Amino acid sequence: MEKLKPRDEADCLEIVKWAVADKKPLEIVSGGTKRGYGRPVEAAALADVSGLSGISLYEPEELVMTARPGTPLAEIEKTLHANNQELAFEPADYSKIYGKRGGSATLGGILAGNISGPRRIKAGAARDHFLGLRAVSGRGEIFKAGGRVVKNVTGYDLCKILCGSWGTLAILTEVTVKVLPAGQRILTVIVSGLSDSDATNAMAAAMGSSFEVSGAAYIPADVSIKSATDGAIAAIRVEGTGPSVSYRAAGLAEMLKPAGDCRIEKTGDSRAFWRSVRDAEFFTEHRDRPLWRVSVAPMSGPDVVATLRGQADIRAVYDWAGGLVWIEFSSEAGDDAGAGIVRDAVRPHGGHATLVRADDGVRRKTDIFHPQDAALAGVTSRLKDGFDPERILNPGRMYRTV
């Protein structure tokens, strides 16, 4: 397979034009940390865009940064950190669940996958911070969308549709994101010994309070966790300035005391814990086991898990106050990696399930992203036609025919 490494936007344009003309499907890769996410791409050539790197504009007072998509996340975070700022959606690095060393994720990859961490429940997802872009579409044309200001409704919001399109519509060549002041202090309220549904209720109470919770996760007792030895824990995070954080953590502990044993964990330990939640580090040990990412209404999380526990040997971790459930099957999940029972369990709740990890054979045969009904699938397919009619950009990564 041909491997190409464009240096700039002009190179990307050349590559796409060639691919269109010669009908050569391309797999687009940046840091390569998430190649296991989605259906295997059957491509004639691989385009590695990690060469399009570097921050081109950063104005802390305007809360805005423009960078090329191959810029390593580490570089971005370091630059922001120097100004006490951050990407508020808390981008995750899933490398380890695929057995790779972390640290090579890029901004473009994060945006292409719309990957957001625990703070999503407060600050929004990657897509909510994506302000503007330049890209090469599958038509071999350079286009731009959005802008560099936070408030902008000029034309369709193409940032949104490219965010989470997994490179199937266009190759990003420049992105502008909103940046925000970082919380100076973190405290985590830990409630121990709760069942799945009690934990979800506790997290809902915390989220429904005025304590500005920025993370709410539940780790059941059967999931091993380095920093805690006390069985099941529900963890509620608050961030911000000193006195405010102490006040809010104390308020939460007081509020949740009737639910179970409460303690408050300090900044240092908290950071490590939330990093492991963000990167789904609980599921890095058995890489042969299918891993699902289920998105449902927060209160539905325990129901989905209970249904599945009745049918299979699974381990689950809840993030987003119950709205994001990571579900790992033991090895005997069957030919479809549990797709049938997972989607049956999700259906009554109206969310969706994505198969994040499975071997290539399974991923080729199984719907990785949630199957769409005819009307919706029609829209998806026509959108693909609009950007990439020849199906040369990451073909099949999301859906077989898209």
Partner 1 sequence: MNSAPEQAVSLDQHSALEMPELDVDILGRRNEIIRDLRALVPGEGVISETSEMRVYESDGLTAYRQLPFVVVLPETVEQVSAVLRYCHKTGLKVVPRGAGTSLSGGALPLGDGVLLGLAKFNRILDIDYANRTATVQPGVTNLAITKAVEGRGFYYAPDPSSQIACTIGGNVAENSGGVHCLKYGLTTNNILGLQLVLITGEIINIGGKHLDSDGYDLLGLLTGSEGLLGVITEVTVRILREPETARAMIIGFPSSEDAGACVGSIIGAGIIAGGMEMMDRPAIHAADEFAQAGYPLDVEALLIVELDGPEAEVTDLIGRVEEIADANNASNVQVSQNEPERQKFWAGRKAAFPAIGRISPDYYCMDGTIPRHQLPKVLARMRELSEKYGLGVANVFHAGDGNLHPLIMYDSNVPGELEAAEDFGADILRLCVEVGGVLTGEHGVGVEKRDLMPEMFSETDLDHQQRVKCAFDADGLLNPGKVFPTLHRCAELGRIHIHGGKIPFPDIPRF
Of residues 324-343, those binding partner 1 (CB under 8 A):
324
Of 55, 75, 102, 160, the one binding partner 1 (CB under 8 A) is 160
Q: Cα 331 vs. chain centroid, distance in angstroms?
A: 24
Order across the sheet with 213-219: list the strands: 261-265, 185-192, 233-240, 213-219, 314-319, 324-329, 291-295, 352-357
The answer to whether 147 touches 132, Cβ cutoff 8 Å, is: yes
Nearer of residues 180 and 306 to partner 1, judged by Cβ: 180
Of 110, 112, 121, 190, the one binding partner 1 (CB under 8 A) is 121
Site string for partner 1, 26-65 (x = CB under 8 A): ----------------------x--x-------xxxxxx-
Residue 1 as a binder of partner 1 (CB under 8 A): the answer is: no
**Distance of closest approach, residue 290 Cβ to partner 1, in angstroms:** 18
Of 142, 221, 228, 255, the one binding partner 1 (CB under 8 A) is 142
Structure-token pair, residue 281:
């580090």
**Distance of closest approach, residue 132 Cβ to partner 1, in angstroms:** 9
Backbone angles phi, psi at 124, to 5 degrees: 95, 175
- For residue 170, give the amino acid letter: A
The answer to whether 75 touches 104, Cβ cutoff 8 Å, is: no
Q: Please list the residues that pair with 136 across neighbouring strands.
A: 142, 171
Q: Which of residues 278-317 bind partner 1 (CB under 8 A)?
A: 295-300
Determine the longest span between alpha carbons in the chain, in angstroms: 66
Nearer of residues 109 and 225 to partner 1, judged by Cβ: 109
Closest residue by Cα to residue 248 from 207, 191, 205, 187:
187
Site string for partner 1, 74-113 (x = CB under 8 A): ----------x-----------------------------
- Which listed range, 18-26, 32-40, 103-111, 268-276, lies at the site for partner 1 (CB under 8 A)? 18-26
- For residue 151, give the amino acid letter: K
Q: Which of residues 175-204 bind partner 1 (CB under 8 A)?
A: 180-181, 201, 204
Nearer of residues 157 and 269 to partner 1, judged by Cβ: 157
Nearer of residues 227 and 381 to partner 1, judged by Cβ: 381
**Distance of closest approach, residue 9 Cβ to partner 1, in angstroms:** 12
Q: Which of residues 203-232 bind partner 1 (CB under 8 A)?
A: 204, 207-212
- Which listed range, 100-108, 154-162, 256-264, 327-335, lies at the site for partner 1 (CB under 8 A)? 154-162
Structure-token pair, residue 331:
């090895």
Nearer of residues 102 and 124 to partner 1, judged by Cβ: 124
Count Cβ atoms within 10 A of the Cβ of residue 5 and give its class: 0-12 exposed, 13-18 middle, 19 or more buried.
middle
Q: Please list the residues that pair with 325 across neighbouring strands.
A: 294, 318
Size of the site for partner 1 (CB under 8 A): 106
How far is residue 91's CA from residue 177's CA, in Å, rounded to a whole number? 12
Count Cβ atoms within 10 A of the Cβ of residue 262 and give its class: 0-12 exposed, 13-18 middle, 19 or more buried.
buried
Q: Which of residues 351-380 bind partner 1 (CB under 8 A)?
A: 351-352, 354, 369-370, 372-373, 375-376, 379-380
* Helix segments in 323-373, DSSP class H: 339-346, 360-365
Centre a 10 Å sphere on the Cβ of residue 98 and count the other Cβ atoms it contains: 17
**Distance of closest approach, residue 193 Cβ to partner 1, in angstroms:** 21
